[in-house]
A and B are shown apart, each in its own frame.
Chain A
Amino acid sequence: MMDEAIQELLQLEVRIGSLRLQNPIMPASGTFGEEMDSVIDFNRIAAIVPKSITKYPRKGNATPRVCEVPAGMINSIGIQSKGLEYYLKKTLPYYRQYDVPVISSISADSIDEFAEMAEVIGNVDNVAALELNISCPNLKGNGLAFGMDPEVTRTLVRRVKDVTAKPVIAKLSPNVTSIQEVAIAAEEGGADGLNVANTILAMAIDIHTRKPKIGNGMGGLSGPAVKPIIVRMIYQVRQVSALPIIGCGGVMNGEDAIEMMLAGATAVQVGTASFINPMAMMDILQEIKEYMIRYKIDDINDIIGGAHKLSSAP
C-alpha cells in the first residue's frame, strides 16, 4: 500500500468553468442514484449526477432494455422519469446531505422546454451545474437529436445560458459526422463545458428469434468497446475548443481515465463500469493516484491534453 501521507499531497482538484471539483471522477448520468449510497461514499466523488430528468413523468421503453455485446452493453431505457416536480421535491433535496456539487442532467423535447427546465433547476441552490442531454430527439424539430445539428445545438445552449447563471455542460452525441462542428457550436452558444460523449447508437439481433435484442430495436452502446472512439472524439474536440471536456464512454479503470485526460478531458464520467464493479469510481481514483506517484505528477491538471503536446497528429 502507498503511503497515505504522499497521497494526501497529490493535487486532484479540477475545474469545469467556475465549477470546482475535488477530483476528476464522477458518475455518468443514468448509471447512478441514491441506491448506491450503501456501496460508495458519495462525498469522495467529484460530483453527483442524478439520472436525466424530464419535465413530465415518463414510463420508459419496452423490455428488454439492455443487452450485452462483446465488451459492451446496449441500452434503451427511454429515460424513465418521475418528472420535474418529484425531482425538485425529492431528488435534489435528498442530495443536500452530501458535500459535493450536484450536476443536474436535463432532457427535453424542445428548445423551449430545455430553457424552461434549466431556469427552474438552475434556481435550486444545491444545483452546481447543468448538463444538457442533447442526444434526445427534438420533437418540435425534425425528430433528430438536438446534438446532431450544430445550428440547433448553438441555439439550444444559448437559450439555456440566457436563463441561468449556473455553468452549462453540453453532453454531445457521438452519432455525428463531425463532433468538432457540434463542439464549436456549443462553445459559440456559451457552454461552459462539453461532455464527450453520450452512448453510440447500436443494435444487436437475436439470430434464434430473429428479433432485436432490446425492446426498442436500437439503443446506445457503452462499455469498454466504445472507449477508443470516445478517446478519439475527446482528442478532436480538444483540437478545436478551449472548453473543459468531461470524457464519458467505456472507462473501466484508472488507466482508461488517464488516457481520456491525456486526450484532453478535464474530468471523467464512469457509467457501465459501476455495474460490473460497484466500487469502480473509488478504485479508479486510487489508480489515478498511483499513476501520479509513479510518474511524479503533483497536479492532475498537468496531464490534461498531454497527448497533444507530444503528438504531431493533425
Chain B
Amino acid sequence: MKAVKLKIISNHQVSERYWHMVVDASELREDVRAGQFFNIRCAEQYSPLLRRPFSIYSINKHNRTLEFLYLVKGAGTQRLTRIEAGERLDIFGPLGKGFTLHENGGTVLMLARGVGIATLAALAQEAAEQGLRSVAILSARTRNDLLAAEKLRGFGAEVYEVTEEEGNSDVENVRKLIERIFRKYDVRAAYTCGSRRLSKLLQDITAEKRIFAEIALEEHMGCAMGVCFACVCDIRDANGLNRTVRVCKDGPVFALEQVVL
C-alpha cells in the first residue's frame, strides 16, 4: 500500500456525465482485484483537499494498465477531468477488500446501478478470465449513462439494461428480470453495487435462494486506510448483533447478507 505517481495514458469524456481514464500501472507492484479501489488526489492544491476514492473499471494485465470510469459530480471529479494524457496522477492503492469469485462453474449474476456499473465491470472481466458466465442487469437514469454495457458485453456478459428513461427500472420489473434469469441459468453467485433499493431486492432474493452474494459499498472517506473511522456502515454478525465496520478497510466489498441496508 503506497501512494505513487502513475502516468495518464488517456482521460476523456465518454458521455454527458461520465469520463474514462486509463493509467499506466506498470510501476504498481501489488496485484489489483475487482472491487478494490484507489484513493486519487484530484489536484495538487488544498481545494479540493481530500483524495477521492474510485473503484476500478478494468484491470488489463497484458498491457499493465488500469481503467477508471468516473461520474463527474463535484469539485474533485471536475478537477480530475482537467488532467491530461502524459501527466502523472497521485494515486494511493490498491485499497480495501475485493470481490470473491468461486470457480464452481455456475453463472454469476451482477446487479448494478449508476456509477456502480463501473465497479462490476472489473468483476465481469475477472469472471471471464476464470471462464465463468456472467449475466448483468444494469440500471441507470438514462440510456446515455449505460455506456459500460458494451464493456461488459466485451467480457462476454449477457446484459439487460433498464432505465427511468424507458420506464422499466422499477424494483418490481427488476425482480421479474432476476427471476427469469434464475429460471434460465444455474446462478451460484450474485454481486451488486450502486443502489440501496436494488441491493435490498438482491439481499431478499439471494437469502431466500441461499446463494452467495456480495455488495460493494460507497461512502465519503477520510483516510481510506482504516484509521479515521469516517466511512462506516453497519453489518449484522453471525450472532445477529449489529457492528459498525469501516467501508475502506473492512470492505468496500461485504457479504450481502450481513449488510444492514
Contacts and interface: CB of A to CB of B under 8 A. Distances in A.
Contacts of B228: 30-31, 66, 75, 77, 275
A63 B231 contact: yes
A211 to B, nearest CB: 14
Nearest to A30: B228
Interface stretch (A34-42, A161-169, A231-239): A34-42
A279 B226 contact: no
Contact of B49 (A38, A59, A71, A80): A71
A77 B229 contact: yes
A80 B3 CA distance: 27
A278 B3 contact: yes
Interface in A83-127: none
Interface residues of B, number: 29
Contacts of B2: 38-39, 278
Interface stretch (B9-17, B148-156, B160-168, B216-224): B216-224
A33 B230 CA distance: 14
A36 B231 contact: no
Contacts of A39: 1-3, 225
Contacts of B233: 63
Contacts of B221: 66
B173 interface: no
B46 A275 contact: no
A63 B232 contact: yes
Contacts of B92: 278
Contacts of A70: 46-47, 49
A10 interface: no
Nearest to A64: B220
B220 A279 contact: no
B187 to A, nearest CB: 32
Contacts of B33: none
Interface in B229-245: 229-233, 244
A178 interface: no
B236 to A, nearest CB: 14
Contacts of A71: 46-47, 49
B227 A65 contact: no
B228 to A, nearest CB: 6
Given A64-B220, A223-B49, A276-B41, A31 B227 contact: yes
Contact of B232 (A33, A80, A279): A80
Given A223-B46, A279-B3, A66 B226 contact: no
A2 B190 CA distance: 55
Contacts of A51: 227, 229
Contacts of A279: 3
9 contacts: A33-B227, A35-B249, A63-B220, A65-B230, A65-B232, A70-B49, A77-B229, A275-B223, A278-B92
Interface of A: 30-33, 35-36, 38-39, 51, 59-60, 63-68, 70-73, 75, 77, 80, 223-224, 252, 272, 274-279
Which 6 pairs between the two chains have the least Cβ-Cβ distance? A33-B227, A35-B226, A66-B230, A71-B46, A65-B230, A275-B223
